[in-house]
């Protein structure tokens, strides 16, 4: 049985109706019933179906309730139980009628035609007689109507009911004339030489006896003929022009031609077919236009149309001749559009779906056809691209099989041989990169690229040149043959010259030549012209606006690092206090320009329209680009640009969310209310998705689910593109300059610690003075790496000792493991103390002595300080740096100030803004997950409850990711006591992890205070240090102004005291005020430090983010 829920787009009860229908189906024992929700697109269609604005339930095409609105649950149950036998009976009748109709139609048509075409018509008439003729006509036409009923599944009945009485009389007259004319024509042609009189006489003799019977049958069939057959015949005349418009990608012409058709809109099943046909032509047109243009907006529309058409094809209930071809066309076009999407936003989901579609098309295709070969080639290309992303060896193996299949002699035309060689060369080069010991693969790639140059058509010739250059450079690196390098440079120049001549030079072409020249520069003495030419190549590549942003970023970075290396060599040649030369200054300025351009391209490469993991993948390729760009800008004497670059290049993903929240649209509210309204709506939809991880179902591959990660991704991409375009059009999309960023220091200085291989600095930002650049020791970067390695090793030994204790089989093993834990704890504390002393000596001391030279004796009088570390410094516990012993007081950061953290300056400025909506009664959401390793959770809950007696608590089995994300938007405060996870998230009941990504997708977050009593909730990810991909940063960027988190594992024994002390300090007069959260945490940790100065593991992990 099939249930349809039909609703208008603005219906307020859509979700409620759907849930009630599903519940009624389950109660009625019909849980396996197919349940479809349709959104009616237009008021005309709604009126035809009897929908006035509220949802209507149609069962087997009828409304059992007789009125709009949501039926009650009891009504639904009764209707569904009553509809089941009726639906089964209808299906039986349709199948029986249809089967008999097909047989009878064949018999009737054959008999009729044989009778009409006999040579002696008079004798045939006397032989058969009127009764036989009547039987033939009645069976043939009547059961032919039954066959039409079967094929159109109820269209006959629908047509009869919607046809007015007048039409039932008038239409048959015209249609009967057509039948009679057909019979007369057959007789006339067959009678031939017997003369006109004979034909007229024969026709009169045949039609006269059965005029009434035939008229009766035709009357019954007339609506079908009028609404289905004749419009389809008229449509045939439009096909040539329609196909021409499709080939040209002219969507306007397609729409104009289709609008000339007379649609059978009044019969739903016929309208479904015509809608499918229209969707097919529009989709093919859209995809054809994509091949002719490079328009991202057209790509969004083409993908949406292709998915819709693919869904209509899958859902269409009848098989029609040629529909399999439609499916192939749509799916093949969808695969090409998805490949364009991959190159547009580097979406790995799009690439996965391309591969799945291509595999399906390969399994259904004839191997020798050109379409199949083209599909095989594109499948191999997609597999190679995915291998470059994921490194999966299986993709290489399958791509190699595709290339070898293409190279088979029986398929190898000149064109396909060239493409197979191109694919084989790239696959073998990929095999070599995966296993550098496999030199035979590299040799094979060179041979295949060389062979391809002799047979390649113009369209793929640059691909062979670029591939051969890459393989020759790889062979030069492992073999050192100068001839390979010289040939690579010559071929790279040829590549650039050819593409320039054809007007198709890309950033990749110029970069290939630049890299070849850099190889010669680095390995042996090169002329000055090589330096100039290499930098010119990179500069041209970075300036090609039509090239992908990622290619331009790579070229700009190459330019920056090449110039920086040159300047560094000149700097090392200086002696003593010798001033920099003009050449060195020029190189530093060139390096600053190149790296700055690369940093400003980072938001375009990892823009808001792509999936979170794709953003991380792209950003992980440039983990220190921002810190290096800032260091080079400082070398060029541009400290303000250094701050702007660090702001632009850090937390790229979260800053895009912050852009949505902070974009000021009030400037256009009065001048353009419609645009203002649209921007607000797009912002709301984007903010609701956060950093998306698409889960919507694709119509292309509903069985395997491969495409289900693409639909919401495409929706977000289209919304993001619209947001960017609207912001650009209104002039609201502007870069944040230092003059605005300095307001982050309105309540105290902000110190950016930037550690780079070029130089290390602390940039002190004050609201009322210029940037103070404090140069740190040259060994700071390497010392930080060594100290962090020791810390990680000590922490791993502690983890191994605890694991051995848990797995001990007897008391002896348990005692030995306990001893290891004690030793590991002493070693860990010693390592951390040494690191804190180094931090004070090489970093914090220089900052504190300049900012706060006189120690303050009272905690309340201590000034505020915000640390904003970049790059490797994000791991460092700067807030706890110092010489922590009782003999040397005030030689620590917490003894001289109240430290806090902020990932960026803009986020601190935003956090100081008041809440947009102040709740009437603030709520605390307490999430607790008891565990044998966390015996103090209940004690912590009791301490917190002393200050916050009223809260919503999710404890044990109730503490699931779904429950937390459901309640969190309604709460002003959050307290979580559980294990942390290595992903930076919270490990809840049953081991389920509330990841930072899931937190980012929670809509409507606007809290005031979050306390995360879990381990490692503020630890950066090693691949993207500056992206702050942990729970603390997510809550901070999504609206929680104050967040207490941990930079390392916290001790369960002291956790209740710290939490209780913080909440008690923030509760004054029965009112909880988190505005002094930093001071409250500082006070609690000061007490712990005084009691345990030699055990920093109990007080060092805690940090505060916020104002």
Of the spans 4-18, 166-180, 548-562, which averages the highest pLDDT?
548-562
What 3-state DSSP class applies to 1040?
Answer: coil
pLDDT, average across residues 1088-1098: 88
Q: How confident is the model at residue 44 (pLDDT cuts 50, 70, 90)?
A: very low
On whether both 993 and 1059 belong to a single domain, the answer is yes
Report the range of poorest mean pLDDT among 160-169, 774-783, 883-892, 912-921: 160-169
Long-range pairs, 412-416, Cβ under 8 A, ≥24: 414/455, 415/457, 416/373, 416/377
- Tell me whether residue 878 is in a domain: yes
pLDDT over threshold 60, residue 237: no
Query: Does residue 832 sit in the same domain as residue 880?
Result: yes
- 119 and 26 assigned to the same domain: no
- CB count in 10 Å sphere of residue 662: 14
Residue 822 lies in a domain: yes
Is pLDDT larger for residue 766 or for residue 44? 766
Q: Are residues 677 and 646 in the same domain?
A: no
Residues 121 and 225 in one domain: yes
Tell me whether residue 1022 is in a domain.
yes
Report how far residue 658's alpha carbon sits from residue 593's, in angstroms, rounded to the nearest whole number. 27
What percentage of the chain carries pLDDT values higher than 70? Answer: 64
pLDDT-above-90 percentage for the chain: 23
Round to whole Å and give the CA distance between 496 and 192.
74
**The pLDDT of residue 92 is above 50:** no
Can you give the pLDDT at residue 676?
A: 74
pLDDT value of position 159: 46
Q: Is the pLDDT of residue 245 over 60?
A: yes
Same domain, 65 and 145: no
pLDDT at 605: 86
Same domain, 931 and 1061: yes
Last residue of a domain, one of 236, 258, 274: 236
Mean pLDDT to the nearest integer, 585-601? 93
Q: What is the mean pLDDT of residues 784-805?
A: 89
Question: Please, what is the end-to-end C-alpha distance for the chain in angstroms?
Answer: 60
- Determine, yes or no, domain membership for 41: yes
pLDDT band for position 404 (cuts 50, 70, 90) = confident
pLDDT of res. 181: 58
Collapsing DSSP states into helix, strand and coil, what is residue 863? coil
Structure tokens, 576: 């003593």
Token readout for 778 is 């040259």
Are 51 and 111 in the same domain? no
Give pLDDT, residue 838. Answer: 94
Q: Is the pLDDT of residue 594 over 90?
A: yes
**Amino acid 809: pLDDT:** 80
Residue 94 has pLDDT above 80, yes or no: no
- Split at pLDDT 50, 70, 90, the class of 21 is low
Lowest mean pLDDT among 148-152, 467-471, 689-693: 148-152
Please give the pLDDT value at position 62.
39
Task: Quote the pLDDT of residue 593.
Answer: 94
Q: Which helix (H) or strand (E) holds 1087?
A: helix 1077-1091
Decide if pLDDT at 393 tops 70: yes
Does residue 735 lie within any of the structural domains? yes
Closest CA to 622 of 647, 595, 642: 595
pLDDT at 708 over 70: no
- The reported pLDDT for the residue numbered 762 is 94
Q: What is the pLDDT of residue 194?
A: 43
> How many structural domains is the chain composed of?
6
Question: Residue 663's pLDDT is what?
Answer: 63
Does the pLDDT of residue 95 top 60, yes or no?
no
- Confidence class for position 391, pLDDT limits 50, 70, 90: confident
Both tokens of 646, joined, read 């660090």
**What pLDDT shows up at residue 526?**
47
CB 357 within 8 A of CB 702: no
Mean pLDDT computed over 674-684 = 75
Evaluate whether residue 757 is within a structural domain: yes
Domain-embedded: residue 6:
yes
Determine the pLDDT at residue 248.
65
What Cα–Cα distance (Å) separates residue 986 from each residue in 983, 994, 1005, 1048, 1097? Answer: 9, 5, 17, 14, 20
Q: Domain containing 589: what range?
A: 548-663
pLDDT tens figures, 1060-1079: 999 999 988 778 889 899 99
- Separation between Cα atoms, residue 145 and residue 135, nearest integer Å: 15
Confidence of residue 308 (pLDDT cuts 50, 70, 90): confident
Q: Which residues pair with 1090 in a beta bridge?
A: none
pLDDT at 696: 31
28/166 same-domain check: no
Question: Which of these ranges, 257-261, 400-404, 432-436, 1026-1030, has the smallest mean pLDDT?
Answer: 257-261
Q: State yes or no: pLDDT of 664 exceeds 90.
A: no
pLDDT band at 276 (very low <50, low <70, confident <90, very high): low
Contact indicator for 86, 122 with CB cutoff of 8 Å: no
Flag whether pLDDT at 846 surpasses 90. yes
Q: Is 304 among the domain residues?
A: no
* Pair 1073, 943 in one domain: yes
H or E element in which residue 908 lies:
helix 905-911
The answer on pLDDT for 390 being more than 90 is: no
Q: What is the pLDDT of residue 705?
A: 39
pLDDT, mean of residues 798-807: 84
CA-derived radius of gyration, the chain: 38
Whether residue 905 has pLDDT greater than 50: yes
Instruction: Give 224 or 875, the one with higher predicted confidence.
Output: 875
112 and 131 both lie in a single domain: yes
* Mean pLDDT calculated for residue range 170-194: 52
Mean pLDDT computed over every residue of the chain: 74
Out of 742, 765, 791, a domain closes at: 742
Residues 868 and 980 occupy one common structural domain: no
Q: At what angle do helices 461-479 and 482-501 cross, to 10 degrees?
A: 160
Exposed, middle or buried by CB within 10 Å (0-12, 13-18, 19+), for 991?
exposed
pLDDT higher than threshold 80 for residue 369? no
Summarised one tens digit per residue, pLDDT across range 911-928 is 888 776 656 566 889 999
The mean per-residue pLDDT over the stretch 997-1011 comes to 84
Which of 236, 258, 286 represents a domain boundary (last residue)? 236
């Amino acid at each position: 049985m099939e249930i349809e829920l039909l609703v208008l787009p603005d219906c307020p009860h859509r979700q409620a109706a759907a849930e009630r229908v599903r519940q009624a189906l389950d109660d009625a024992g019909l849980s396996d019933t197919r349940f479809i929700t349709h959104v009616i697109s237009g008021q005309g269609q709604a009126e035809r179906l009897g929908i006035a604005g509220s949802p209507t339930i149609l069962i087997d095409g009828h409304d059992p309730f007789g009125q709009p609105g949501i039926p009650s649950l009891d009504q639904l149950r009764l209707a569904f139980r009553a509809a089941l036998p009726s639906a089964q009976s209808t299906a039986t009748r349709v199948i029986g009628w249809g089967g008999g109709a097909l047989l009878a139609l064949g018999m009737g048509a054959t008999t009729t035609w044989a009778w009409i075409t006999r040579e002696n018509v008079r004798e045939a008439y006397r032989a058969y007689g009127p009764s036989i003729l009547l039987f033939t006509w009645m069976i043939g036409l009547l059961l032919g109507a039954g066959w039409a009923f079967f094929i159109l599944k109820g269209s006959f009945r629908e047509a009869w009911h919607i046809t007015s009485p007048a039409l039932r009389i008038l239409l048959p007259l015209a249609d009967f004339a057509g039948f009679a004319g057909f019979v007369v024509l057959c007789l006339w042609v067959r009678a031939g030489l017997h003369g006109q009189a004979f034909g007229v006489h024969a026709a009169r003799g045949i039609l006269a006896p059965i005029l009434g019977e035939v008229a009766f049958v035709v009357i019954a069939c007339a609506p079908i003929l009028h609404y289905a057959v004749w419009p389809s015949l008229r449509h045939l005349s439009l096909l040539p022009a329609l196909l021409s418009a499709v080939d040209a990608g002219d969507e306007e012409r397609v729409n104009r031609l289709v609008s000339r058709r007379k649609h059978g809109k009044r019969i739903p099943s016929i309208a479904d077919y015509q809608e499918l046909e229209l969707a097919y032509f529009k989709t093919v047109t859209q995809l054809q236009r994509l091949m002719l243009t490079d328009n991202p907006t057209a790509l969004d529309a083409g993908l949406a149309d292709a998915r819709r058409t693919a869904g209509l094809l899958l859902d269409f209930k009848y098989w029609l001749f040629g529909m399999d071809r439609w499916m192939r066309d749509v799916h093949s076009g969808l695969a090409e559009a998805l490949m364009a999407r991959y190159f547009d936003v580097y979406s790995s989901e799009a690439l996965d779906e391309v591969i799945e579609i291509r595999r399906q098309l390969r399994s259904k295709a004839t191997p020798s056809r050109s379409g199949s070969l083209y599909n095989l080639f594109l499948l191999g290309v997609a597999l190679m691209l995915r291998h470059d992303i994921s490194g999966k060896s299986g993709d290489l193996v399958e791509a190699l099989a595709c290339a070898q299949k293409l190279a088979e002699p029986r398929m190898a035309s000149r064109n396909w041989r060239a493409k197979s060689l191109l694919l084989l060369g790239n696959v073998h080069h990929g095999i070599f990169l995966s296993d550098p010991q496999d030199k035979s693969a590299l040799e094979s790639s060179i041979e295949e690229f060389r062979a391809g140059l002799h047979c390649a058509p113009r369209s793929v010739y640059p691909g062979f040149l670029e591939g051969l250059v890459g393989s020759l450079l790889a062979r030069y690196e492992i073999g050192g043959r100068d001839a390979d390098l010289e040939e690579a440079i010559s071929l790279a120049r040829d590549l650039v010259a050819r593409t320039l001549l054809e007007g198709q030079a890309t950033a990749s072409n110029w970069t290939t030549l630049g890299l070849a020249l850099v190889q010669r520069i680095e390995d042996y003495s090169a002329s000055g012209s090589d330096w100039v030419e290499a930098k010119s190549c990179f500069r041209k590549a970075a300036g090609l606006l039509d090239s992908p942003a990622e290619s331009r970023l790579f070229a700009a970075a190459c330019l920056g690092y090449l110039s920086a290396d040159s300047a560094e060599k000149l700097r090392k040649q200086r002696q003593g206090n010798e001033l920099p030369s003009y050449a060195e200054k020029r190189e530093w300025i060139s390096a600053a320009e190149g790296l700055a351009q690369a940093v400003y391209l980072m938001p375009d490469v990892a823009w808001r329209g792509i999936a979170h993991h794709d953003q991380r993948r792209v950003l992980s390729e440039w983990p220190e680009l921002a810190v290096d760009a800032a260091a080079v800008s400082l070398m060029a004497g541009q400290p303000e640009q250094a701050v702007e670059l660090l702001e632009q290049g850090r937390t790229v993903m979260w800053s895009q969310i912050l852009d949505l929240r902070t974009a000021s649209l009030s400037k256009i509210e009065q001048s353009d209310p419609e645009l203002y309204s649209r921007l607000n709506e797009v912002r709301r939809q984007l903010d609701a998705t956060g950093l998306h991880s698409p889960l919507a179902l694709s119509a292309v591959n509903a069985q395997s689910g491969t495409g289900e990660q693409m639909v919401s991704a495409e929706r977000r991409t289209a919304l993001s593109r619209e947001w960017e375009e609207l912001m650009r059009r209104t002039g609201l999309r502007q870069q944040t300059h230092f003059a605005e960023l300095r307001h982050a220091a309105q309540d105290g200085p902000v110190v950016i610690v930037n550690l780079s291989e070029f130089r290390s600095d602390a940039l002190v930002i004050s609201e009322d003075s210029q940037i103070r650049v404090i140069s740190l020791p040259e060994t700071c970067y390497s010392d930080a790496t060594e100290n962090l390695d020791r810390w990680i090793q000590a922490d791993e030994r502690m983890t191994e000792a605890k694991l051995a204790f848990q797995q001990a089989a007897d008391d002896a093993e348990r005692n030995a493991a306990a001893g290891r834990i004690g030793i590991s704890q002493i070693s860990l504390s010693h390592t951390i103390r040494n690191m804190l002393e180094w931090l004070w000596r090489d970093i914090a001391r220089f900052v504190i002595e300049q900012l706060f030279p006189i120690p303050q004796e009272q905690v309340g009088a201590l000034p505020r300080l915000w640390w904003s570390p970049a790059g490797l410094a994000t791991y460092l516990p700067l807030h706890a740096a110092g010489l922590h012993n009782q003999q040397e007081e005030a030689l620590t950061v917490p003894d001289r100030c109240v430290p806090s953290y902020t990932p960026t300056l803009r986020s601190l400025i935003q956090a100081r803004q008041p809440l947009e909506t102040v709740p009437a009664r603030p709520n605390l959401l307490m999430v607790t997950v008891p565990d044998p390793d966390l015996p103090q959770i209940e004690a912590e809950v009791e301490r917190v409850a002393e200050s916050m007696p009223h809260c919503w608590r999710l404890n044990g089995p109730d503490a699931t990711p779904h429950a937390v994300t459901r309640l969190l938007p309604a709460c002003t405060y959050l307290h979580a006591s559980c294990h942390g996870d290595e992903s930076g998230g919270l490990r809840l009941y049953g081991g389920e992890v509330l990841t930072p990504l899931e937190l980012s997708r929670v809509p409507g977050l606007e809290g005031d205070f979050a306390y995360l009593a879990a381990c490692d909730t503020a630890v950066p990810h090693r691949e993207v240090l500056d992206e702050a991909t942990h729970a603390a940063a997510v809550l901070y960027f999504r609206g929680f102004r104050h967040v207490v988190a941990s930079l390392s594992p916290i001790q369960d024994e002291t956790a209740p005291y710290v939490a209780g002390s913080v909440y008690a300090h923030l509760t004054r007069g029965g009112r909880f005020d988190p505005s002094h959260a930093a001071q409250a945490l500082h006070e609690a940790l000061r007490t712990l430090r005084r009691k345990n100065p030699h055990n920093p593991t109990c007080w060092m992990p805690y940090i505060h983010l916020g104002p």
